[in-house]
Amino acid sequence: MSGDRITKGLLFLSSLTILLLSAGIVVSLLGGALQAFREFGLRFIISPAWNPTAGSEEYGAMSFIAGTVITSILALIICIPMAFSTSLFIAEYFRGTRTSGILRSLVDLLAGIPSIVYGFWGFYALRPLLVATGLTDQGFGVFTASLVLAIMIVPYATSLSAEIISMVPAELKEAAYSLGATRREVIFSVVIPSARSGIIASFILALGRALGETMAVTMLIGNANVIPKGLFAPGNTMASVIANQFGEASGLKMSALIAVGLLLFLITALVNYLGKLIIKRFA
């Protein structure tokens, strides 16, 4: 029987590491951020100042919170029509066909491409196209970053939406067809209403991915420590400012960057929790 007890003990111990790891992450972020919060108080969250000049150092996270929220929401807006049509294609129009399987694999491939490759491709292939439209001089900025982000989060929104749409009971749809509804009418009056919360959850989870995305955004957003002034203006997100400045930071600046990380952690955890909550309700 001792083998049993050892096994059970080992399994329990390994589960403890998750507990320690999670606690450690929160404690370390809080500890690292302490200096910045002690210095600036809650003003750190609402201040858009970011001045690393020695002597007049002042840090605030608002520019980056704004940058993160704007790019992520814009990415989500661009992503919704794409993910919506692909999930209808996969789970409704071409359900169970080979075409649907191929499309699903292609969309899944988008999730496999590393972030840095997206960033590089966006820089050398997409940016010149945007410059050619005349809307922007340099091609850097919120819109470019959001466009690439949108492509990156499409697979996450699609796979979950498609799964939920395919779970809509056939009887419901058949009942609507038998009343003479067209396919579009069935989709809008039966499929979407009954899958609504699941579809919303899939988009919230996709948003959660967009919030923390680092490399592609860092390479495309233009890296200016200000609240973006327009769609084509440069900015910085919480993740990109950490990626850009952590390496040469020390003292108060490092603490401020860790505080930005803590805020990012809280925002993504909240968004993901919301998404999971809706899904659990749905299931």
Partner 1 sequence: MELTDNIRRRSRTNNRFRYLVIAGSVITIIPIFLIVGNLAVKGYRQINLAFFTKPAPDTFQAMMAAVNGEIIPGGIANGLTGSLLMVLLASLLAIPLGLMTGIYIYENESKKYARFIRSLTEILQGVPSIILGIIAYLWIVKNITRGYSALAGSVSLTIMMLPLIIRSTEETMRMIPLSIREAAFALGTPYYKMIYKILIPVSFSGLATGVLLALSRILGETAPLMLTALGSPAISFDITRPVSAVPLLIWDFYNDPNMVNLVWSASLFLMVFVLSMNLLARSVASKHKYI
Within residues 19-38, the interface with partner 1 by CB under 8 A covers 19, 21-22, 24-25, 28-29, 31-32
Supply the minimum distance, in Å, between the C-beta of residue 144 and partner 1: 14
Asked if 222 interacts with partner 1 (CB under 8 A), we say no
Supply the minimum distance, in Å, between the C-beta of residue 139 and partner 1: 15
* CB nearer to partner 1: pick between 47 and 115: 115
**Cβ-proximal residues to 18 (8 Å cutoff; 6+ apart), any chain:** none
* CB nearer to partner 1: pick between 6 and 230: 6
What CA–CA distance (Å, rounded) separates 107 from 223? 30
Within residues 141-200, the interface with partner 1 by CB under 8 A covers 151, 154, 158, 182-185, 187
Stretch that binds partner 1, among 38-46, 118-126, 171-179, 225-233 (CB under 8 A): 118-126
What CA–CA distance (Å, rounded) separates 90 from 159? 9
* CB nearer to partner 1: pick between 9 and 230: 9
* CB nearer to partner 1: pick between 8 and 281: 8
What CA–CA distance (Å, rounded) separates 62 from 95? 45
DSSP string computed for 209-264: HHHH--HHHHHHS---SS---STTS----HHHHHHHHSTT--HHHHHHHHHHHHHH
Backbone angles phi, psi at 59, to 5 degrees: -130, 140
Supply the minimum distance, in Å, between the C-beta of residue 56 and partner 1: 26
Please identify which residue in the block is written with the tokens 């991915």.
Answer: 209
Within residues 81-100, the interface with partner 1 by CB under 8 A covers 81-86, 88-89, 93
**Cβ-proximal residues to 105 (8 Å cutoff; 6+ apart), any chain:** none
Asked if 77 interacts with partner 1 (CB under 8 A), we say no
* CB nearer to partner 1: pick between 56 and 250: 250
Beta bridge partners of 180: none
Stretch that binds partner 1, among 45-53, 55-63, 170-178, 210-218 (CB under 8 A): 210-218
Measured in whole angstroms, the distance separating CA 233 from the mean position of its chain's CA atoms is 21
Supply the minimum distance, in Å, between the C-beta of residue 43 and partner 1: 22
**Cβ-proximal residues to 246 (8 Å cutoff; 6+ apart), any chain:** 254, 257
Among 243, 252, 256, 278, binds partner 1 (CB under 8 A): 243
Measured in whole angstroms, the distance separating CA 227 from the mean position of its chain's CA atoms is 19
Among 69, 194, 200, 246, binds partner 1 (CB under 8 A): 246
Within residues 45-74, the interface with partner 1 by CB under 8 A covers none
Cβ-contact 269, 204 below 8 angstroms: no
Supply the minimum distance, in Å, between the C-beta of residue 149 and partner 1: 12
Cβ-contact 199, 98 below 8 angstroms: no
Among 7, 51, 97, 189, binds partner 1 (CB under 8 A): 7
Supply the minimum distance, in Å, between the C-beta of residue 198 and partner 1: 17
* CB nearer to partner 1: pick between 10 and 135: 10
Please identify which residue in the block is written with the tokens 């993160």.
Answer: 68
Specify the 3-state DSSP secondary structure of 168.
Answer: coil
Supply the minimum distance, in Å, between the C-beta of residue 240 and partner 1: 9
